[in-house]
Chains A and B, each alone.
Chain A
């Protein structure tokens, strides 16, 4: 069965601090996809990144970076030099190829970045 755990419910940082959002997943499938989405205060979820299970290469996009480790079933997200505009709820999600096409989302981590 699919499961996504985001243990951090809320994180509060001061602007310019680095912050890491944790995501741990469970799956029996060997082929799966992992995602991160951002939900700003305006409400609409925005896609950030997708990773498939065969690609463990870490990725950096500007101030954002993702660390995918199959050995620990984790797909953590780091924001470097956080900014107030990064304040949002961040969701990690998992789709198993063998589990139909539904996507299971974690409970989300609410990030507050204070000026």
Chain B
């Protein structure tokens, strides 16, 4: 079956522009995560969606960042008025979340964002 897919794979934008990054999780996975990985760094948690519950937005670095998940499937991460420090690889992951159990996350290939 298909894994997690992300688009675009690369995005170059000018400072101040808005960008949208897309994530298609594995079919049937109820949990979806967004992370940011700066060059040579670890993964920084951004946001988590689980089913119809309110998302955990505690990792979003500023109000320029937002995300939504439509129909419990596809998710879009939007960065408004991009800054050079937003340059990073944005990773999406999904998992089959069961009650009181944390399952492994399946990661997409990421979107490399470069803000000039």
Contact = CB atoms under 8 A, between A and B. Distances in A.
Contacts of A107: 41-42
B103 interface: yes
Given A50-B102, A101-B31, A106 B48 contact: no
B102 A108 contact: no
Given A91-B43, A107-B41, A33 B102 contact: yes
Contacts of A46: 107
Contacts of B58: 100, 102
A47 B110 contact: no
SS of A interface (majority): strand
**Interface size classification for chain A:** 20 to 34
Interface in A90-115: 91, 93, 95, 97, 100-108
Interface in B51-108: 56, 58-59, 89, 91, 93, 97, 100, 102-108
Contacts of B106: 47
Give the residue among B43, B100, B102, B104 with the most A Cβ atoms within 10 A. B102
A13 interface: no
Contacts of B41: 107-108
A95 B102 contact: yes
Given A45-B91, A101-B31, A102-B58, A108 B50 contact: no
Contact of A47 (B35, B59, B89, B105): B105
A95 B106 CA distance: 15
Contact of A50 (B43, B100, B104): B104
B104 A47 contact: yes
Interface of A: 6, 33, 35, 37, 43-47, 50, 52, 91, 93, 95, 97, 100-108
